[in-house]
Structure formats: structure tokens, C-alpha cells
Amino acid sequence: MITRQVTLELIESAKEYPVVTVFGPRQSGKTTLARTTFPDKPYFSLEDPDIRMAAETDPRGFLQEIPQGAILDEIQRLPMLLSYLQGIVDEKQIKGMFILTGSHQPDVHQAISQTLAGRTALLTLLPFSLSELRNYKQDWEAYEIIAHGSFPRLHQEGLRPDRFYNGYVQTYVERDLRTLINVKDLDQFQQFLTLLAGRVGQVLNYSSLANDVGVTGTSIKNWISVLKASFVVFELQPFFENIKKRVIKSPKLYFTDTGLACHFLGIETPDQARRDPLRGSLYENFIIQEILKSEHNQGKRPQLYFYRDTHGNEVDLVIKKQRKLIPVEIKSAATFSRHFLKEIERFKTITQDRCYDGYVLYDGEDKFNLQQVSIQNILKHGLPEMRI
């Protein structure tokens, strides 16, 4: 069992707030994180029908049995319980009294906005980061992680990825979706997931997806909303702040775990991922998800964007820090080229004094200066500090 990078942030948050809520996809390690960080706290899983029934039937009595607080797992299964937590934490004023976990972000967010605003810290736990994966193997190859994925059980228990993801989709993705919206044709939804994986890293086009799947654009929007809510996918919003040029204003979509995207695409090995026509998009997904994890593990609110104008000029990733902008180009090529800097230089011209030099992250070995960083170096030593 390894110590997750977000552990320190969880401990510090529990010293300041009476409630800490940990969001994240199923199987990302939320329960293990909470129980290992606070081993003396009572633990209750609201997935357990008996516990959920007891808490729903007599919430006051249920909470009175845990006067010093507890870990309440999968709180989205019983969001009404949060209304009773408010009075308790206000009365007792105990820091770190309750640790909550949730897999459906909107359900918990809505309840928090009504009842626990100002009383809870919010953290997000995603599957293993590169630094955490190095506890299981020191020398990783990028496409090995892309195809294998980063869910903890895959590495802790040595599970076969294809078997794991098949069960994951059937047990969690499809079940969670049916809990939130009415899917009449599961085969149609599975086709949608495959098409979505085929569009990873592309600007979302709801009409195109709707036509290909054979449903309405509204259905596509609802399905994507549920996948985002369950942390299966995330959106990268376009950056167009104070830019006068015509820019794209639709988001790009990425998977929270590239292994899951590869599962939908039928990619099972690193060699398949390396040769696939989508290798560049999957590579981009891999790097952006790692930067996203790094921000979440520090308890930060990620401010990640992409830039593209109507002429096709594009920067893969724009990181906003302290109102300053850091453009990042991500290349799956093994050889560095000065051509990689072209879009960064153009973006710097547009944003002027708000923009810093930026970075090129590519799949080679060589390092020419601080702004050209090889992915091989990242695999060995972790992400560079994106300095402003």
C-alpha cells in the first residue's frame, strides 16, 4: 500500500474544516485513502443497503451513534444525510469530524451548496499519478501507461487490463449512468462510448456525434454530462480571454484514464497504442491528465485550457497561474524540431506580456534548454514545475 500524493492535503484540510469531501471516479482509491489516513475513525459505506437503510430511516439516530464523526463512503447514495451533518458540525465545532467520499460530483456539490458551504474542504482523487506508479515500477514507457492505465487495483493486484476494464465498464460506468439518466438502448450507448474515445483530444461536436450514434444532440449532451459527473471524462475549455481574434469556443474532451479510452478503442498493448492513428491524441490525453492530477493532488483548482483560432492555429495546453499564461505543446515525436515552437511563439505574440516562454513536451531523450522537456525525463523524474 502506497501513500497517495494528496494525503498531506487531506490531513491539512482536516485540521481546518469540520468536513472534508473527496471526489473522484470509482476505483480511484478514495476509500483506501480515507481509511489509511484516518484509521481510528469509524467507517460506513452507504453502498451497503443495510447501512443506507438505517441512515435513511433514522438519520439523527444514525449520526448520534458516531459522536466524534466518521468516514461516510459514497455519500452521493444518500445526499439528504448532509442536511443533518450541518447541525452537528455547527454544534460540535470539531475539525476533521467527517470525511466524505463521492463518485458523482453534481449530487454532492448541490447538497454542499445548500448545507455545507464553508464547512467542507473539497479534494479530488484521480487514478495513480506517474510519481505514484513509480512505487510499482521505476522505468515506465509512455505507451505502456497509456495502454495499461493507472487505476490502483491494476497495479496493486497485478490485474489484466482488458479484464479489469470490461468489468469496470459493466459494473460502474453503465450502472452509474442508468442511475442518473434513462438509457433505453445500452448497445447504442456503448457505441457512443467507442465513438467518444475515437474523438479524444478533439473539439466537441455534438451534432456530429448525434448523427453517428443515431440519437438527438440533447441526448449526447446529457450522456457527456453524466460521464463528466462520474469522472469518466473531463473537458478542457478553450482560452479566449481578452483575445480579439476569432477563436474556437467549444471544449475538447479527454478521458480521466487513457487505459479506459484504449479499452473502448480495442487497444490492448503498448505496441498497438504506439502504432494507432490516434497515438498523438492519446499521448496528449496522457500528459494533460498527469498535469491535472498534479494540480488536484496539491489541492489546487486546475486552470487548464487550450487555444485554437478559426485558422487552425493551436496550442495544446495553456496553464494559467497567478494571472499569467504558460503555453505547452505536447508532441509524441521522438525527435525535437524547432517547428514545435511555432505555435507557442504565435500565442506569445497574441497575449503579449501575460505569456511566459512556455514548454514543449516531446517523446525524445534530449534536453536543449528549460523549455524543451523530454517525456522520458518526465517518466523518470516526474513532471517539471511549470514556472512563471
Return the closest-CA partner of residue 353 out of 323, 318, 314: 323
Do residues 360 and 372 touch, judged by C-beta distance below 8 A?
Answer: yes
- Percentage helix, strand, coil for the chain under 3-state DSSP, each rounded to 5: 50, 15, 35
Same domain, 277 and 302: yes
Confidence (pLDDT) at 70: 97
Same domain, 243 and 145: yes
Do residues 82 and 12 touch, judged by C-beta distance below 8 A?
Answer: no
Give the domain-ending residue among 79, 100, 124.
124
Look up the pTM and report it: 0.91
In a domain, 388, yes or no: no
Q: Is 76 left (phi over 0), alpha (psi -120 to 50) or beta?
A: alpha
Apex 161 CA angle, 159 and 163, nearest 5:
80
Give me the CATH number covering residue 288: 1.10.10.10
Do the strands 120-124 and 19-23 form a parallel or antiparallel pair, or are they unpaired?
A: parallel
The CA distance from 319 to 59, in Å, is 44
Q: What residues does 309 pair with on adjacent strands? A: 247
pLDDT tens digits, 332-378: 887 777 788 888 888 888 887 788 778 888 887 755 554 656 666 67
Do residues 207 and 219 touch, judged by C-beta distance below 8 A?
Answer: no
Average pLDDT, the chain: 88
Give me the CATH number covering residue 109: 3.40.50.300
φ, ψ dihedrals at 330, nearest 5°? -120, 120
- Residue-range definition of the domain harbouring residue 375: 130-381
Same domain, 174 and 309: yes
Same domain, 76 and 143: no
pLDDT tens digits, 221-274: 988 988 998 899 999 999 876 665 666 778 999 999 999 999 999 999 999 999
Distance of CA 363 to the CA centre of its chain: 23
